[in-house]
Amino acid sequence: MADASAAGAGGIRIANVGHTYRPPRGRPVTALEEVSLEVAENEFLALLGPSGCGKSTLLYLIGGFLPIESGGISVGGTPVAAPGPDRGVVFQHFALFPWKTVRENVLYGLEKQRLPKAEREARAAAFIEMVHLDGFEDSYPSQLSGGMKQRVAIARTLAMDPGTLLMDEPFGALDAQTRSLMHEELLAILKRTAKTVVFVTHDVQEAVLLADRVAVMTARPGRIKTVVDVADVGGAADAIRDPRFVEKVDFLWGQVRDEALAAQKGGAG
Amino acid sequence: MGMRFEQDGIGAAALRLLAGTGSVIALLAAWEVLARAGVVSEFLLPRFSDVVGRIWEDALGGVLFVQIGLTVWRAVLGFALAGLVGIVVGVVMARNRGANWFFDPIVSIGFPSPKIAFLPVFILWFGLDDSSKVLMTVFAAVFPVIVATAAGTEGVDKYLIWSARNAGASERDILHEIVLPAALPQIMTGLQVALPISLIITIVSEMVMGGEGLGGNMIQAGRFADSLGVFAGIVQIAIAGYVLIKGMEILRRRLLAWHQETQQISTF
Ligand SMILES: Nc1ncnc2c1ncn2[C@@H]1O[C@H](COP(=O)(O)OP(=O)(O)OP(=O)(O)O)[C@@H](O)[C@H]1O
Ligand SMILES: [Mg+2]
């Protein structure tokens, strides 16, 4: 585990990780089996895979929320044991605090970090503006649309400036325009302050556009099926017309489709 | 109808109050008419206006406020203690398996049992003064708070707790800053159930044990065939109860401002 050469000092190393859910009632579900993956420091890895294959589970394991039962995960050379603000998570279902306003939601983590008050306020305001929610600072989550809530969740995590970003379908609830604005904002932030990113998505084009590498997972129990290097395409807004871009998207589409079909068969049987 | 009242200040507020209490006013008017018509004797049903006169007299003499004050003080003190104990026990039950093992059967047996039946025990143990009345009230009002708090605490969305941990919150922070606020709607519901129980049990205890206070006074009036006093007591209790319950509603709306939108949506 201490070997940091491959993943880089700040990278993520996942070695032979499995996870089985054991609900109090019902039978155990093996979500992940023998997953091995390395994400280099400051690399952007997108994670694709059919619904229910264990993508969120993998993020929760890296985040330290679930116990690591088999195999090992280290982030920045340190084995993961508990959650921490060094690994900022954008949860699939937002997990905003309903009794806190937009501003208070964004401020919460900054208060826990004991940042000086002036800086907290400034950062919260800047990130709320970044996700175009200025004017809604004093609204409660119950007063926002799904896409707005999602943007609060993104602002809240980005404002903490974590070295590692774990994003679970962070733009899934957004319309195409807002989504592409958010792509630009995210890439701009990563250019300013480099981060290691694991980004779960169902949108193949989004994955190729944003990521350095794209990993495709198999149907449940999830394993890593293929990893494709896409660093040479994407990034710019007009990249989607690049034939090499189209080629990579098509290839990945095929991979995900096969697994989605397998998942359907598995689900029926 | 309601829409027309919204706009103009005090007049509108008065109208709304009138609309909200119309049925009570009609009932009181019927009482007055019935009593005046002489259908039943003055003794069995004194006029409402005479009852109000008696309350007014007591108010001028200052007795009224001492009596209401004593009863409300006992009820509110018992309620507050029940709230405190109930929230602590509820949280501990939901978060600690051993505590759950210990308290769960006690609560299951205690909640549906008629608590007032324990009154003789309280009298034996604590005598006839305030402490036994207040403790009787605590005992009766604590169960709904325990049950509501335990259910609310258990039901907290685990992702809220995860997201607080992710922000660097300690386990203690999480209890204060996440679990309790998330469970607050249910805790408030438990308290709203406990409040009228507190008032009822205090008054019944006063009736049984005698002494100062609305309940004791009413029993006293009954013994002396003072029918005006009995009905005055009923009206006073009704007013005290109404004020307490309304106060609690306002508190709930204040504390759960963030929750109201969801409530409103869910009622449509
Ligand atoms: N708390 C849980 N208890 C039992 N089983 C669970 C639990 N959470 C997830 N699972 C199971 O584990 C599997 C993987 O779930 P996970 O949420 O990681 O999938 P996912 O890849 O993120 O799916 P999606 O794309 O739909 O979000 C699913 O089949 C699910 O049934
Ligand atoms: Mg998921």
Domain check: are B154 and B212 in the same one?
A: yes
Q: Is residue B163 part of a domain?
A: yes
User: pLDDT-derived band of residue B157, with 50, 70 and 90 as boundaries?
Assistant: very high
Taking any CB pair shorter than 8 Å as contact, residues of chain A touching chain B are 60, 63, 65, 82-85, 87-89, 91, 93, 95-101, 108-109, 112-113, 140-143, 160
Q: Is the pLDDT of residue A157 over 60?
A: yes
Determine the pLDDT at residue A166: 96
Q: Is A61 in the pocket of ligand 1 (CB under 6 A)?
A: no
Domain check: are B98 and B22 in the same one?
A: no
Helix ranges (DSSP H) in chain A: 55-63, 102-112, 117-130, 146-159, 176-192, 204-210, 243-268
User: pLDDT-derived band of residue B167, with 50, 70 and 90 as boundaries?
Assistant: very high
CA distances from A130 to A181, A231, B9 (A): 10, 26, 41
Q: Is residue B66 part of a domain?
A: yes
Determine the pLDDT at residue A108: 97
**Chain A nearest-CA residue for B181:** A99
Q: Is residue B52 part of a domain?
A: no
Q: Which CATH number belongs to the domain containing residue B141 in this structure? A: 1.10.3720.10
Q: Measuring from atom 22 of ligand 1, which residue has the nearest CA?
A: A56
How far is A58 from A220, CA to CA, in rounded Å?
12
Q: Which of residues 40-99 of B touch A (CB under 8 A)?
A: none
Q: Is residue B199 part of a domain?
A: yes
Q: Is residue B171 part of a domain?
A: yes
> Which residues face A73 on adjacent strands?
A14
Residue B188 vs residue A240, higher pLDDT: B188
Determine the pLDDT at residue B259: 83
User: pLDDT-derived band of residue B37, with 50, 70 and 90 as boundaries?
Assistant: confident
Q: What is the pTM of this model?
A: 0.86
Total domains in chain B come to 2
By Cβ distance, the residue of B181, B184, B261 closest to A140 is B261
For residue A224, what are its two tokens?
A: 């890593």
How far is A42 from A197, CA to CA, in rounded Å?
7
User: pLDDT-derived band of residue B264, with 50, 70 and 90 as boundaries?
Assistant: low
Domain check: are B222 and B152 in the same one?
A: yes
Locate the ligand 1 atom nearest the alpha carbon of residue A59 and give its number.
18
Domain check: are B234 and B169 in the same one?
A: yes
Q: Is the pLDDT of residue B267 over 50?
A: no
Determine the pLDDT at residue B18: 75
Domain check: are B84 and B8 in the same one?
A: no
Q: Is A141 in the pocket of ligand 1 (CB under 6 A)?
A: no
Q: Which domain holds residue B198?
A: 62-266
Tell me what the pLDDT averaged over chain A comes to.
Answer: 90
Q: How many CB pairs under 8 A join A and B?
A: 70
Q: Is the pLDDT of residue B128 over 90?
A: no
Domain check: are B190 and B86 in the same one?
A: yes
Q: Is residue B238 part of a domain?
A: yes
Contact between A89 and B162 using a beta-carbon 8 Å cutoff: yes
Domain check: are B31 and B135 in the same one?
A: no
Kindly report the number of other CB atoms within 10 A of residue B173's CB atom.
Answer: 16
Domain check: are B97 and B19 in the same one?
A: no
Give the mean model confidence (pLDDT) for residues A44-60.
Answer: 94
Q: Is A50 in the pocket of ligand 1 (CB under 6 A)?
A: no
pLDDT per position as a tens digit, A218-269: 998 899 999 999 988 876 667 777 888 899 999 999 999 998 898 888 754 4
pLDDT per position as a tens digit, B137-148: 999 999 999 999
Domain check: are B71 and B41 in the same one?
A: no
Domain check: are B225 and B172 in the same one?
A: yes
Contact between B166 and A84 using a beta-carbon 8 Å cutoff: yes
For residue B108, what are its two tokens?
A: 């299951």
Determine the pLDDT at residue A263: 82
Contact between A91 and B184 using a beta-carbon 8 Å cutoff: no
Kindly report the number of other CB atoms within 10 A of residue B5's CB atom.
Answer: 15
Tell me what the pLDDT averaged over chain B comes to.
Answer: 88
Give the mean model confidence (pLDDT) for residues B151-157.
Answer: 94
How far is B239 from B247, CA to CA, in rounded Å?
12
Dihedral, CA of residue B46, residue B47, residue B49 and residue B52, to nearest 10 = 20
Q: Is residue B55 part of a domain?
A: no
Domain check: are B126 and B233 in the same one?
A: yes
Domain check: are B244 and B212 in the same one?
A: yes
Q: Is the pLDDT of residue A6 over 70?
A: no
Q: Is residue B181 part of a domain?
A: yes
